[in-house]
Structure 1
């Protein structure tokens, strides 16, 4: 299959249509400079890796990887290849070590683990790219929730929330902290495409749209990630993206999680990630799925903390002086227990903004569920196992899905 744009070098003269196509692809793909700096591994559609995996399309990308759809020519099935950013040979990677050690025996769970790993040479001497071979999954929550409005798709939204909590319980039972829980790490299942050849695949998923990255240490294309149609999506939810995962009680250098709207408040105050911080992230996702909008507004650390104080009240006094988010300066007033905070928007008022509106009784029920996790002190937050058995949570979920 020929590429959508036949351009051999980014230095060539392009006509206006090609420039428009180029800009549209670039706007929806990973930063090109990460290839120039030899951080990402350059690839082309049709390239074969490890003598068996033929690259078919682009699935997505993140800060630490690009993800590709490939055909395993030995087993005759489609897989996902997660190609990690370059690292020194022998350097351990969280996903490789933690997942191998503790999750390999949990194949029947909804935790997406890799079943093979190999290495590719990097553009830097003594560096390699690790490649994780994963099952082919559907789109993540971030890519689909705009297509699932609360007015018509609450069943699917709440089903995703319930299944995600079951997966998080399983992860914590294995003594692993996800550390980076956000909608991008939560994926829908996908119907098998193994019976189709490449021509049929492109008919369903669209032909790759791409352009040559130009003068790199090896040939590579920038490819716009494909869009998976709803007809191929299954209702099962899977938790993955364990690149930041750690064993419980592990100290880390990078405390804060991004996007920061999913980051637990103690992590802005030099606390290490924990099961409790994962639960905060989960409740942020749950609230987003239920409300149809993110309950915590703002970007960075200061805006997030300010919104939390306006919603939940003052931060614990013992946290004063520990706030850290790059060069941002915290507000002493966040911790001043002598001042009366002005609640600009309470949890109840946020629930009341939900569309379509629900009864006062359900609003009160939702706030009770929120408050079990949206509390500053990590030790007071409910665990995944506790929340799954909580009568309020079960009552709320039972209004939208069948719980067995």
Structure 2
């Protein structure tokens, strides 16, 4: 039987008069649409890519073409440095060494992040400095802090932030040295903007430390450098950002008053960290935290003290580094011109601070 004979006569007649119409109708009734095999394979591969695990990022600084994440514009550490050898991914509420509960971010640098942690065993607050994995074995910071504790503990605690403990933590990016330090307030670099005489801020206002306050900061900083040099140590990164104000009554403060808000709208944390390829990333945290120094608990009244911090660039006179970390603008001429590293780099940096 001819297929055409199954069509009623009145339809066969209409098909003859309206062939284009019936051609389009018949095509729309085709139940399956075929694709070339190559297209089918490509769609399969795309589906697999979206669910497969991402490759391990390289354990070195990335170039633009290797960027993994969407840009985060808040003043935080660079998200691309969450990689093997880099930062450890920390989330508020994490507990380290079964003892230190992270409740707030205090700061970050090229080689570490610093957090306020609640010492659950001793009912106190500490600063937890977590070094990047790639320098955790080679840094001299821990060796120098131990040396100060052993040979000059009393003077050391007067001028240098105290080391309270240490441990190692293994994470997705490697093994990290963790230093437990006394918590401190804002740096000389930022505290000047928090002084009450400069609030509210007015147009044309000059933000400077009062003369007596500036003199005290300079005197105490020079005394701290003298202490280090007498013990055969150069700081190597002497700058206002590494001179810190002390805290008052922080240990008696309830934890809930010190907690960092997990609020994207308040810009205390970043939006969720997202990969460009949409995959989950096990090397980075869920979000980045903006540093929130403990300004309300900072002592800056008459008789205040400051201390030198961040001994990550420090070295013994007998063992100078081949690559100093002193900021370029604070480097001594001989360091820039010849690369010679000695104890004079601190003195030049101090002169820049006076200027």
TM-score range, shorter chain: 0.5 to 0.7
Cα deviation digits, residues 49-101 of structure 1 (max 9, x gap): 00010000000100110000000000000100010011377x23210112212
Q: 1:150 to 1:123 in 2, by over 3 A?
A: closer
Q: 1:155 to 1:55 in 2, by over 3 A?
A: same
Pick aligned residue for 1:226 from 292, 297, 311: 292
Q: Does 1:169 align with 2:235?
A: no
Task: Point out where structure 1 has 5 or more consecutive residues left out of the alignment.
Answer: 1-21, 288-404
Quote the Cα distance in structure 2 between the aligned partners of 1:218 and 1:228: 26
Quote the Cα distance in structure 2 between the aligned partners of 1:279 and 1:182: 11
What residue in structure 2 maps to residue 389 of structure 1? none
TM-score, scaled relative to structure 2: 0.67
The Cα shift of 1:229 comes to 2.6
Superposition pairs of residues 194-273 of structure 1, within 5 angstroms:
194-202=251-259, 209-210=268-269, 211-213=271-273, 215-217=281-283, 219-229=285-295, 232-234=298-300, 235-255=304-324, 257-273=325-341
The Cα shift of 1:285 comes to 1.1
What residue in structure 1 maps to residue 26 of structure 2? none
The Cα shift of 1:227 comes to 4.0
TM-score, scaled relative to structure 1: 0.59
Quote the Cα distance in structure 2 between the aligned partners of 1:226 and 1:266: 37
Q: Does 1:129 align with 2:176?
A: yes
The Cα shift of 1:184 comes to 1.2
Q: Does 1:117 align with 2:163?
A: no
Quote the Cα distance in structure 2 between the aligned partners of 1:151 and 1:49: 39
Superposition pairs of residues 2-401 of structure 1, within 5 angstroms:
26-36=73-83, 38-87=85-134, 91-104=137-150, 105-107=152-154, 108-124=157-173, 127-147=174-194, 153-202=210-259, 209-210=268-269, 211-213=271-273, 215-217=281-283, 219-229=285-295, 232-234=298-300, 235-255=304-324, 257-287=325-355
Quote the Cα distance in structure 2 between the aligned partners of 1:282 and 1:166: 11
- Higher relative contact order at CA 8 Å, sep ≥6: structure 1 or structure 2? 2
- Contact persistence 1:38–1:122 (CA under 8 A): no
Cα deviation digits, residues 8-45 of structure 1 (max 9, x gap): xxxxxxxxxxxxxx98x742111111114550000111
Q: 1:232 to 1:277 in 2, by over 3 A?
A: closer
Task: Point out where structure 2 has 5 or more consecutive residues left out of the alignment.
Answer: 1-69, 196-205, 275-280
Number of equivalenced pairs: 259
Please tell me the root mean square deviation across aligned C-alpha atoms, in Å. 2.5
Quote the Cα distance in structure 2 between the aligned partners of 1:286 and 1:27: 31
Larger Rg: 2
- Contact persistence 1:182–1:281 (CA under 8 A): yes
